[in-house]
Amino acid sequence: MLVKVQINGEKHEADVEPRLLLVHLIRDVFRLTGTHIGCDTTHCGACTVLLDGRPVKSCTVFGIQAHNREIMTVEGLEQDGKLHPLQEGFMEEHGLQCGYCTPGMLMTSYAFLRKHPRSTEDEIRQAISGNLCRCTGYVNIVKAIQYAAAKLQNGGA
């Protein structure tokens, strides 16, 4: 089946099996490998991307369900060579170690901050509870998101 999508503002199309998962479409067909796979059960969140602005676990969506829709992946966060405040925050606050969960964390928190620009630490922890990180102990991930929230409120990006 032909699937046409817009990923990070760029048009992509491919002829794929109806059962092809969105995560494989993004990674293996369109070769955007920033989105990762960590489980098969929608638990780890490593594969999180935005579909029409809403975060989805792309291992649980078929590629063809994204037909004619807009996808945003981690590769789309940086704009005109400028890092998104979240990306900056993760670096500044040491919010990543192996970096494998990071793209999913970034996409989940990107969607979260857009809806909830002001939130408490506990709300942030809730928001990322669908994303597992095995390395960082979460403390610095939360700080990274708070860093971005503060920066966004001060008009950054």
Partner 1 sequence: MALRTSPAIGGMGHSVKRKEDPRFIRGKGTYVDDVQLPGMLYLDIVRTPFAHAKITKIDSSKALGVPGVLTVITGQDLAKYNLHWMPTLMSDTQMVLPVEKVMYQAQEVAAVLATSRYAAADGVDAVHVEYEPLPVVIDPRKALEPGAPVLRTDKKDKKDNHIWHWEWGDRAATDRAFREAEVTVKQDIYIPRIHVASIETCGCVAQFDKVNGKLTVWMTTQAPHAIRTVFALVAGHVGLAEHKIRIISPDIGGGFGGKVPVYPGYVIAVAASVLTGKPVKWIEDRMENLQADSFARDYHITAELAARKDGKLTALRIKTIADHGYTDAAANPSKFPAGLFHICTGSYDLQAAHVEVDGVYTNKPPGGIAYRCSFRVTEAVHTIERVADLMAHQLGMDAAEFRLKNFIKPDQFPYKSALGWEYDSGDYAAALRKAMDKIGYAELRREQAERRRRGELMGIGISSFTEIVGAGPSKHFDILGLKMFDSCEIRIHPTGKAIARFGTKSQGQGHETTYAQILAEELGIPVADIQVEEGDTDTAPYGLGTYASRSTPVAGAAAALAARKIRDKARKLAAHLLEAAEEDLVWEPGKFSVKGAPNQFKTIQEIAFAAYTNHPQGMEAGLEAVSYYDPPNLTYPFGSYICVVDIDKGTGEVKIRRFVAVDDCGNIINPMIVEGQIHGGLTMGFAPALMEEISYDELGNIQGGSFIDYLLPTAVETPKWETDKTCTPSPHHPLGAKGVGESATVGAPAAIANAVVDALWHLGVRHVDIPITPAKVWKLLREHGVAE
Q: Can you tell me the distance from the alpha carbon of 134 to that of 142, in angstroms, rounded to the nearest whole number?
A: 14
Q: Does 43 bind partner 1 (CB under 8 A)?
A: yes
59 binds, among partner 1, ligand FES, none (CB under 5 to 8 A by kind): ligand FES
Q: Count the site residues for partner 1 by CB under 8 A.
A: 58
Strands (E), the chain: 2-7, 10-15, 48-51, 54-57, 69-72
Q: Does 156 bind partner 1 (CB under 8 A)?
A: no
Q: Got the DSSP string for 34-48?
A: TS----SSS-S-TTE
Q: Does 77 bind partner 1 (CB under 8 A)?
A: yes
10 binds, among partner 1, ligand FES, none (CB under 5 to 8 A by kind): none
> 121 vs 1, 56, 76, 140, CA distance in Å?
44, 23, 26, 11
Q: According to CB under 6 A, which residues from 19 to 48 bind ligand FES?
A: 37-39, 42-47
Describe the chain by its helix, strand, coil percentages, rounded to 5.
Answer: 40, 20, 45
Q: Does 151 bind partner 1 (CB under 8 A)?
A: no
Residues near partner 1 (CB under 8 A): 17, 19-20, 24, 27-28, 31-41, 43-44, 46, 73-75, 77-78, 83, 87, 90-92, 94, 96-103, 106, 124-126, 128-142
Residues near ligand FES (CB under 6 A): 37-39, 42-47, 57, 59, 96-102, 133-136
